[in-house]
Amino acid sequence: MLSNRPSLQKKLNSILVKPAGPDCNMGCAYCFYLEKAELFSESRTHRMSENILEEMIKQVMSQGEQQVSFGWQGGEPTLMGIPFFEKVIEFQKSYGSEHSVGNGLQTNGILIEKRWAKFLSTYSFLVGLSLDGPEHIHDRYRMLRNGKGSWSQVVDRAKLLLDSDVEVNALTVLNDYSVKFPEDIYAFLKSIGLNYMQFIPCVEKDPKDPSQTAFFSVSPEKYGEFLCKLFDLWKADFVENVPTTSIRYFDSVFYNYVELPAPDCTLGKSCGVYVVVEYNGNVYSCDFFVEPGWKLGNVMEDKLIFMLNSEHQKKFGQKKAALPRDCKECRWLRYCWGGCTKDRQNNPQEKSMNYLCTSYKMFFSHADAQMSKMAEEWKGQQNLAGKKQMGREPSLTASNKIGRNDPCPCGSGQKYKKCCGKDS
């Protein structure tokens, strides 16, 4: 434990790690992170060393809370290979025997095979699989290095992971093309068993003309229409007032409706609640702000808990809270809190306003009545249970749908995927 440790406002309970830096085995047209290679020009290949890995995990375990989580991202983290992640587990067990540790892996899926699936299942990794929808949507921008589409490979990897009892979420980027197909994307993801979905609006500056958004970015109006339609699809799948699919944004917004801290940092009053560790040990304020101006230090020289609570990180978090008058006077403020800081920075028209402000106003106008009703019902259930303090987290993720790994309803005793769902 740290000696002479001051009172620290922010607790270290999660960390985002990029063990292969910006390196990736794909060439997605909309990726914002590939250009980060310019920050690490000392080498063409970027891989976290065992010494840095050990020091980072040791710090998290000694400075962190009882429950800690590691998010492994990139670039593409599977480029590190299974032996690297076996070391991850070894160090976590060695330094965190008294902790509850969670691991999440965000991947494009290309390198996933049976050994990977077994490893991820054995150690209970939560996998976020990048999959943008049906083939014509996914392959629009998610291309392999050779220019060919990646859809068929990724879908095969999704089925392999699910068949191996790995928990998998779909990470779907919404761009100028995919935003036109909410019904198709939602139905497709459900059809292959990906009932936990996260939709990420793509908002990037045009590298040739920073006064404009990149051509693949979503428009505020189209994204607003997408959210409204997706909400209707999500609600239509409720069974006895319980969702059968999980949409991360809707789940997180619901927290704000029941006056609890939203798990999505974009929906909080301020941000800067976690840090990002790059392959070389450099620590940054946020995934979207891995840049020299927001470098906090290095794990080989500084303490993670102090960097998280540094004045520089505090200044970063306050950027989100510095809202314009239009936001402060908006009726929806307490539900969105201005959205993500990077979507204000990437707004070519007005940097103090979120580029997607119109989207959120459209969504809340559309969904508010039903969200409010669900929130009141949830609060009533808490009171009936004698938990007026609302100690339980709001549950919007229960599922009554037959999953691929659920017992088959025919009574055979086999899993659904091995029985009546064999051909689905």
**Which positions are catalytic?**
287
Give the residue among 117, 90, 91, 93 at the shortest CA–CA distance from 105. 117
Q: In 3-state terms, what secondary structure has residue 417?
A: helix
Residue 312: Cβ within 10 Å count = 15
Q: What's the 3-state SS for 109-168?
A: CCCCCHHHHHHHHHCCCEEEEECCCCHHHHHHHCEECCCCECHHHHHHHHHHHHHCCCEE
Q: In 3-state terms, what secondary structure has residue 96?
A: coil
Compute the Cα dihedral for 373, 381, 239, 222 and give only its sign.
positive
Please state, in angstroms and rounded to a whole number, the distance separating the CA atoms of residues 149 and 164: 25
Non-local CB neighbours of 261 within 8 Å, separated by 6+ positions: 255, 268
Amino acid in the structure at residue 78: T
Please state, in angstroms and rounded to a whole number, the distance separating the CA atoms of residues 291 and 342: 13
Non-local CB neighbours of 390 within 8 Å, separated by 6+ positions: 258, 259, 260, 379, 382
Amino acid in the structure at residue 138: H
- Cα of 58 vs its chain's centroid, Å: 24
Helices (H) and strands (E) in the chain, counts: 14, 12
Q: Tokens at residue 84, please?
A: 């690297």
